[in-house]
Amino acid sequence: MKQKFNIHTHTSRCGHARGHDEQYVLAAIEAGFNTLGFSDHIPYPNANDNESRMDDTQSQEYLDSINSLKEKYIKKIDVKVGFEVEYLPKYHNYYYDMRKKCDYLILGQHTKYLGYDFDCFCNDADLDSYCTQIEQGMATNLFTYLAHPDYFLLGRNNFNEQCIKAAHRIGQASIKYDVPLEINLNGFKYGKKKFKTLKHSDYQDYYIYPFYDFWEIIKTYNCKVVYGFDAHAPLSLMDEYKIDIANSIIGDLNLNFIDEIKLNNKAAQ
């Protein structure tokens, strides 16, 4: 059965996505979703970053725009508005304030600190930070799910013992805090990349995520799993074929996909 929701959707405000907000809603209706959640990259106070996220001053306009679409399309689709957030301890209180203004937050740990992004480079020490931040983030109960848990592989060319450890830490945290994990459907755009793994000592071509060796470990915990389009253009919500590609990679693992997503977690109740 096809997943009927997508809650990982961006808008042109982030500087690297295209389209009008309403076009995302129309595309989601055409794709047959019953829920569309917008989760644009959260702005940080006094930190302008035009290629990654909206400015702090744009967040109210973003919320207003999506909330008005929520009303306009109420009979056709359930529209929600939230943010995709990196857990950085110094912004702890800020996340709680932002959570009150919207419907949900997802965790997407792109950065070790602002300006130091894991997709450019992620050595073993960085990976340790990546996991620690995710564990701390999940422990807040602020997050509906963890986006692209295997994101760190963008900054690596190997899947080593440290990566195995990371998969175990993320799997354990997902169970402990009951935070589902996302199979991200936006990673295929990078094409295949060469990786060395513990199974193959020579370089082989892999899509970066979903990465089989990572999800094989997640399966041992039977974590809850959902697909996320991570849409940066309206039409990508209709790219159903990406689910087929993902399934050709991780399909035989029989992951624990859930049919419904609960936006509200403990912190919001």
Cβ atoms 59, 14 nearer than 8 A: no
Stretch that binds Zn ion, among 73-81, 122-130, 229-237, 240-248 (CB under 5 A): 229-237
Footprint (CB under 5 A) of Zn ion, residues 36-95: 84
| Cα–Cα distances in angstroms (integers) from residue 168 to residues 64, 212, 219, in the given order | 40, 14, 10
Strands of the 158-159 sheet, one edge to the other: 158-159, 192-197, 204-207
d(CA 203, CA 193): 9
Cβ atoms 181, 145 nearer than 8 A: yes
d(CA 50, CA 60): 17
d(CA 29, CA 76): 7
Q: Judged by CB, which is closer to Zn ion: 86, or 230?
A: 230
Q: Judged by CB, which is closer to Zn ion: 146, or 217?
A: 146
User: What's the min distance (Å) between Cβ of 26 and Zn ion?
Assistant: 20
Q: Is 117 in the site for Zn ion (CB under 5 A)?
A: no
Strands in 52-190 per DSSP E: 78-85, 104-107, 111-113, 116-117, 143-146, 158-159, 181-184
User: What's the min distance (Å) between Cβ of 74 and Zn ion?
Assistant: 25
User: What's the min distance (Å) between Cβ of 182 and Zn ion?
Assistant: 9
Size of the site for Zn ion (CB under 5 A): 2
| Cα–Cα distances in angstroms (integers) from residue 74 to residues 62, 80, 166, 238, in the given order | 18, 11, 41, 20
User: What's the min distance (Å) between Cβ of 10 and Zn ion?
Assistant: 5
Q: Is 21 in the site for Zn ion (CB under 5 A)?
A: no
Q: Judged by CB, which is closer to Zn ion: 153, or 217?
A: 153
User: What's the min distance (Å) between Cβ of 149 and Zn ion?
Assistant: 13
User: What's the min distance (Å) between Cβ of 233 and Zn ion?
Assistant: 11
Tokens of 175: 């169970």
Cβ atoms 73, 27 nearer than 8 A: no
Q: Is 230 in the site for Zn ion (CB under 5 A)?
A: yes
User: What's the min distance (Å) between Cβ of 11 and Zn ion?
Assistant: 10
Q: Judged by CB, which is closer to Zn ion: 35, or 158?
A: 35
Sites of contact with Zn ion (CB under 5 A): 84, 230
